[in-house]
């Protein structure tokens, strides 16, 4: 008996075509359209399709992802053996990581998309959907958390990042690399991500807003003050190097920490935020002593996702947030 795999289509490049009145391609194709373009899927599984929205991934919201997580839980209870989410690539790493934090299921959850829309020669959407479904029916993928399957590579949501604006091999998982791949339609999984705490099924809170600010040379800190004044619930700072800031930005961050949770990540996108190396004003030692919370190895985008979900679950104390970032960012 073939397993049931549910494909949840959210739009994105994989679903885009030319449309009258538009200067470029826009989301047009439904989940049914995407599945019908890959007839081999019928040989692998019974495919269910769902199209809760059809938007570019830049338009997706946290509320959309909470709704997708709820839909997945419901379908899992009804007997679905796995899930494939198709969407635009711009926010895949954030969507996959949010689902990784929200879901604790013994079924695969795979996110995929395309870099070349269906009007292009060599469009990669059909191949990526086929590979994603092949991973979704693979028993070894059941306990790996959310996955991103792209270009015949299998990536953990905990590490994957988009690294190129247009190349089909855009997704990388530094420093580990992909946890597996597909070869001649066979799924090979050679690494298992370390188990991670799951935040569970907290409801989306529309009042929760987290800003992300990247620091630069001579930063005067005014954007930090403005974010607090604007009423943001939390703030993620992408600091210089190992987690550093100018003197003015450090002063602004100290003011911000007195009012909202502030998480310190690195703008480099690789490595961990340092904790005990540099001692100048605006160094990681100085900023952490002012009350900033270390993101550990999490980049700014993942830190923002984690902080948002924590605040939605009413984990608002600095101590609880710091403990969560310790679990997810350094362990």
Annotation says 13 is catalytic: yes
Q: 2 with 82: CB under 8 angstroms?
A: no
Separation of alpha carbons 313 and 305, rounded Å: 12
6 is in an annotated binding site: no
* C-alpha pair distances (Å), 24 with each of 17, 21, 29, 117, 290: 8, 9, 15, 11, 48
64 is in an annotated binding site: no
- Beta strands per DSSP E along 194-274: 210-214, 234-239, 262-266
The Cα 162–Cα 197 span in angstroms is 24
Determine if residue 32 is labeled as part of a ligand binding site: no
Phi, psi of 85 (to 5 degrees): -105, 125
Phi, psi dihedrals of residue 148, rounded to the nearest 5°? -115, 120
Q: Which of 13, 86, 112, 308 is catalytic?
A: 13
Task: List phi, psi (to 5°) of 206.
Answer: -65, -15
For helices 62-77 and 300-312, give the axis angle rounded to 10 degrees. 70
φ and ψ at 168, to 5 degrees? -60, -20
Residue 31, C-beta contacts closer than 8 angstroms, at least 6 positions apart: 7, 8, 9, 49, 50, 51, 86
**Which residue positions form the known binding site?**
57, 89-90
Residues classed as catalytic:
13
**Which residue positions form the known binding site for substrate?**
57, 89-90
């Amino acid at each position: 008996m073939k397993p049931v795999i549910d494909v949840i289509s959210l739009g994105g490049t994989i679903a885009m075509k030319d449309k009258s009145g538009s200067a470029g391609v826009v989301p047009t194709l439904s989940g049914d359209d995407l599945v019908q373009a890959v007839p081999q899927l019928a040989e692998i599984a019974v495919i269910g399709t769902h199209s809760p929205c059809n938007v570019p991934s830049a338009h997706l919201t946290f509320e959309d992802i909470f709704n997708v997580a709820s839909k997945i839980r419901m379908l899992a209870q009804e007997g679905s053996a796995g899930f494939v989410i198709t969407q635009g690539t711009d926010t895949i790493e954030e969507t996959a990581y949010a689902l990784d934090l929200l879901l604790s299921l013994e079924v695969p959850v795979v996110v995929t998309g395309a870099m070349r829309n269906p009007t292009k020669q060599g469009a990669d959407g059909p191949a990526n959907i086929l590979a994603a479904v092949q991973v979704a029916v693979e028993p070894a993928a059941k306990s790996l958390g959310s996955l991103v399957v792209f270009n015949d590579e299998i990536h953990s949501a905990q590490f994957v990042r988009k690294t190129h604006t247009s190349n089909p091999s855009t997704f990388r998982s530094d420093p580990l690399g992909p946890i597996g791949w597909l070869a001649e339609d066979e799924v090979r999984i050679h690494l298992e991500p370390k188990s991670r705490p799951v935040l569970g099924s907290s409801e989306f809170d529309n009042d929760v807003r987290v800003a992300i600010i990247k620091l630069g040379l001579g930063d005067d800190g005014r954007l930090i003050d403005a974010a607090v004044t604007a009423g943001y619930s939390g703030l993620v700072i992408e600091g210089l190097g190992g987690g550093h800031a100018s003197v003015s930005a450090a002063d602004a961050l100290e003011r911000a920490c007195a009012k909202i949770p502030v998480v310190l990540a690195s703008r480099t996108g690789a490595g961990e935020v340092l904790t005990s190396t540099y001692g100048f004003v605006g160094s990681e030692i100085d900023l952490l002593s002012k009350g900033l919370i270390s993101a550990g190895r999490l980049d700014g985008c993942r830190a923002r996702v984690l902080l948002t979900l924590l605040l939605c679950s009413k984990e608002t104390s600095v101590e609880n947030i710091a403990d969560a970032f310790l679990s997810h960012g350094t362990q």
